[in-house]
Structures are given as C-alpha cells and as structure tokens.
Amino acid sequence: MRKNLAIVVGITDYIESEMQLPACEKDVHIMQNLLRRGERFDEIIVIPSTDSQSLKATIASTVQRFQHDDIDDLLFYFTGHGEFVEEDFNYLLRDFDESRSAQTSLSNSELDNMLKSLEPGVLIKVVDACYSGMPYIKDGSDFSEYINNSSKGLFPKCYFMFSSESDQKSYASEDGSDFTKAFARAVVECQSTVIRYKDVIDFLSDSFNGHRRQKPLFVTQASFTEIFGSYSSESKKQISELTEKMDIEKKPIGESDNKVESEIATPSVSSLISLVQSDAMNYVSREAGFDFIGRLKSLLDLSPLDSEVGDLYGIKKEFVNKYSFLPNQRLLGGWLSENLAGEYFASPDYEMESYEVDSSWSSFMGLTGQEPRKITKTRRVISGIETNVSDLPFIGFSLILEPRYPNLLQYGGWLTYVISKTTIQVFSCMVEYQETSWGEYKDSATTKWNRAEFQLIDSGAVSAIVKNFYVELSSWATERIQNRLNKFKPD
C-alpha cells in the first residue's frame, strides 16, 4: 500500500534576536491546515523548531522510519532563514552561528539525499526563505538530465517551489510570509475542487508578477496532472477565515474594526456541519498522535543536558512502557479520576483495600466496659493508572544523574503523559536517591507531579515539553547540590 507523506519544518524561534521571524509560526499553521484539509496526505509530520543537531537528527529518524514504506507523494515544506554557501543552499536552523555554519544549518544537498532515499513517486519541495531559488542547473544542461543523473532516477517526477530567486530576499509581515499566504490563496481562489500543483504554481506566478524584489522560482518535471489536494467550498472558506484572522491580529493595538468586533461578539448561527468541521481542526488522527509521541521520544533521547549539572554527572536515560514503573503513580490515577471529561486514552487503576472499624453494637457495649469488637471491611481505592492504547512508542521516561564525584548524591527526573485526540497532559517529578553502599542507591525523596498541557496541533509543543523538563531537572538538581554543599560547609 502506497502512502503520501508531508514533512513540515518551521524555524519559529531563532536564538539570535536579530534573526527572529514571528511570521514563521503563522506559516506552519497555514501549511498544516492546507495539508490537513486537502485530505491528500496520509501523514503530516511537523518537525519541532529546536537546536540544529536535534532537528537534523529528527528529520533523519523520520525519513528512516518510512524507509520500508512505498511513498507516492513526498512533500517537504520549510519556512525560515536561508543562505548560499559554496553554491549550495543552506536552511538556517534555530541556533545558527556563522562560525559553525555547517553544524547549525542543513544543506540542500544533504536534505535531497535523505528525501531521495525514500524513492518517492513525486517529490515536492516548498521553500519559503530568502535566496531559496537554488540554481539546480549551473551549466545550462537539460533539467531532466540533471534529475536522472543526480538522483539515479529515484524521483522521476518533482515540483520545486522556491519563494524567491537565489539573489533575492523573501518578505513577510507578522501575520505570515507573503509566499505562504499566497500559496493559501491559490487554494481558496481556485474555481476547482481538485487543486493541482500546476494550479498553485500559476497562481503564485501571477501573484508575484511585476514584483522586482521577490520573484518565486519553480522547477518542475512532471505531467502537471499531480494533485495537491481536494477542497470543498467549506474547507476553502475556513482556510480563508484563517488567513483573514491573521490579518486582523496584525492590526495595531487600539485600532478598531466595528464589523470585525461585531462578528466576534455575536457569531452568526452556523450549520451543524460547519461547527463540527471547525472544531475538528483541533483533533488529530491516531497516526498523528503516535507521530507526536514518537517525535517526543526521539527528542528526549537525543537532547543533551545543557548545564553545569551535565558536567558533574553521567547521564542514563531509559524509556518504560508501563505506568507501573513510575513513582507515585497513585497520584496520577487520582488526577485522572477527577478529569475524565478530558476524554483521555487512559483509566485509573483500582485495587481492593482492607480496613477495620468498630461495629456500632460493640461501640455501644463499650460503654458498659465490654471490649469493642473490630470488623474488617474492604473498599475500592485508586492504585495507579493504565493506558487504553496499545503499542505507544513509550509511556514513561527517566533521566538519572549518576555522580562523577564522591560527594554528590544521585538524582533523577521522570516524565510521563496522558493523551487525548486534542491535548497531551505532561507530568514530571524529581527524585533524590540515598546511597546505601558504594554505588548502590534507593529512592529517598520524590517531589509531587507537576503538570502542563499542550495542544497536539501545536508545532512547537514537542520541543517545549523537552526543554521544560530538562530545565526543571537542571534547576532542581542544582538547588539540591548547593543546599547539600552548604550543609556540610565548615563554619
């Protein structure tokens, strides 16, 4: 069975302040909606905006994951900064540093090699970045010859859409990049329900016709019959409303629009179908949910502990597939029992507990000097939590800090989650271990579970979860180490 795969990469939070591109977050949101509503792609994978090494490793692991699948359409979308280095286009990543250009960017040639390894029937690349119109043909030879020679025939059909030529910048405002917004309008304004890539290319060409400072570049080798997606009038309307909402959000604070305010205050009565379709945008499929957890696992596994704590300790990481391995799982079950309305794919686990009470008669007899008689009863109590979904990539994660110095204790952090079709509730707790003998430890103190909620459609959720957990563990361990050293410090 063949499948269509889309990979979306948006660098939404560059570390260098001068490189900040707030439009890219909107771009990712637009492209996600276009792909989802077009109902063409079986899986839409959004790679989180994170440090360069983790991001490149995530792309590589994603490609490797589909290595044995038959890929028909493979679409790769990128929004962010770009530049040319030695005649190769580079995608600049979140922590880009000119002094470490090769490490903190992804070269187009490296990306092409990864994508070609999937042997897609049609390769589509959409790049919204400055200088993105890479001159694939430098010597004037025929493009089909280049494709066949460079790829060894692994993608006989392709559509490459670049937002600007190789010597031009790409422009954007806070509500999104001009090229990606025009891509969305191509879908909305097309008279046909079925949208071909050629329809999009024609619209983009006309939209930027006469623009001297930005002219998109298109490289194609295909029959022009290949389909981007199928969009009902309702889907087009909702995509249009999405881009219009972004335009509204762009207005300066204090600027009013009576029509807009009226629509927001008193929404019109919509049909049941449109209400359902609008709300459905927040839901993800089983495949997308598994992909989210898979990316979370990969990033937890690959991310380093960037703090002084990482220099003091060895790092031991472990994934578990049962809640029963977690500390204080009874508390997790208690939280879930109070929040069943969230429709999470997990259930509280129960056990029978014995307890003793005085019988009412023996209590009465106690007034006359008789010994009260105890009665043993049982009750159903929460013992933990269990998942309702089989074969999840992981259930829990632990990161143990193994001391490199004899005056340090061992510490650890635990992370777990419960998931629904819309959100993931992430729980984390910290553990201090007592050294019972040289190199042997047992639990000594465990914190309560901290909880944070994330939307599954949020493109930055995975990186935020990992970052928050690692910062929490580093801060907690640092405080415990400092308190311990101060405790034993001579007066």
pLDDT digits (tens, 9 = 90+) for 389-418: 999 999 999 999 999 999 999 999 999 999
User: What is the per-residue pLDDT across 125-160, written as a single tens digit (0 to 9) for each?
Assistant: 999 998 787 655 444 444 444 445 444 444 678 999
| pLDDT value at 454 more than 60 | yes
pLDDT at 4 exceeding the cut of 60: yes
121 vs 307, higher pLDDT: 121
* Tokens at 293, concatenated: 């957890």
The tens digit of pLDDT for each residue in 201-254 reads 999 999 998 777 888 989 888 889 999 999 998 889 888 887 775 554 433 323
- pLDDT given for residue 135 in this prediction: 57
Least confident of 69-73, 184-188, 240-244, 348-352: 240-244
Say what angle helices 52-65 and 108-116 make with each other, to 10 degrees.
Answer: 20
Say how far residue 163 (Cα) sits from the centre of its chain.
Answer: 24
473 band by pLDDT with thresholds 50, 70 and 90: very high
Q: Give residue 80's region: left, alpha or beta (phi > 0; psi -120 to 50).
A: left
| DSSP state for residue 341 in the 8-state scheme | G
- Confidence band (pLDDT; 50, 70, 90) for 305? confident
- Residues 420 and 342: beta-carbon distance below 8 Å: yes
The closest alpha carbon to 134, from 77, 205, 218, belongs to 218
Q: What angle do CA 332, 335, 319 make, to 5 degrees?
A: 25
Confidence of residue 364 (pLDDT cuts 50, 70, 90): very low
The string of pLDDT tens digits covering residues 81-111 is 988 877 788 999 999 998 899 999 999 989 9
Identify the residue with better confidence: 39 or 394: 394
The first and second tokens of residue 404, run together, are 């490199």
Comparison of pLDDT for 277 and 162, the residue scoring more: 162
| Predicted local confidence at residue 270, as pLDDT | 45
Q: What is the pLDDT of residues 183-203, one digit of tens each?
A: 999 999 999 999 999 999 999
Q: What value does the mean pLDDT take over residues 112-135?
A: 88
| Residue-level pLDDT at 128 | 93
Helix, strand, coil % over all residues of the chain, rounded to 5: 35, 30, 35
Confidence tier at 354 by pLDDT (50, 70, 90)? confident
Q: Confidence band (pLDDT; 50, 70, 90) for 420? A: very high
- Chain centroid, CA 474 distance in Å: 22
**In the structure, how many helices (H) and strands (E) does the chain have?**
14, 21
* Sign of torsion over alpha carbons 143, 149, 155, 160: negative
CA distance 201 to 481: 59
Asked if residue 291 has pLDDT above 80, the reply is yes
Query: Any alpha helices (H) in 256-346, and if so which ranges?
Result: 258-265, 272-280, 286-302, 309-312, 329-337
Give percent of the chain above pLDDT 70: 86
Region for 119 from its dihedrals, namely left if φ exceeds 0, alpha if ψ lies in -120 to 50, beta otherwise: left
Q: Which of 27-36, 86-95, 110-119, 384-393 has the lowest mean pLDDT?
A: 86-95
Which residues make Cβ contacts (< 8 Å) with residue 440, sequence separation at least 6? none
- Decide: 299 and 58 in contact? Cβ < 8 Å: yes
Q: What percent of the chain has pLDDT over 90?
A: 48
Q: Residue 344: its pLDDT value, please? A: 94
User: d(Cα 25, Cα 283) in Å, to the nearest integer?
Assistant: 19
Q: How confident is the model at residue 181 (pLDDT cuts 50, 70, 90)?
A: very high
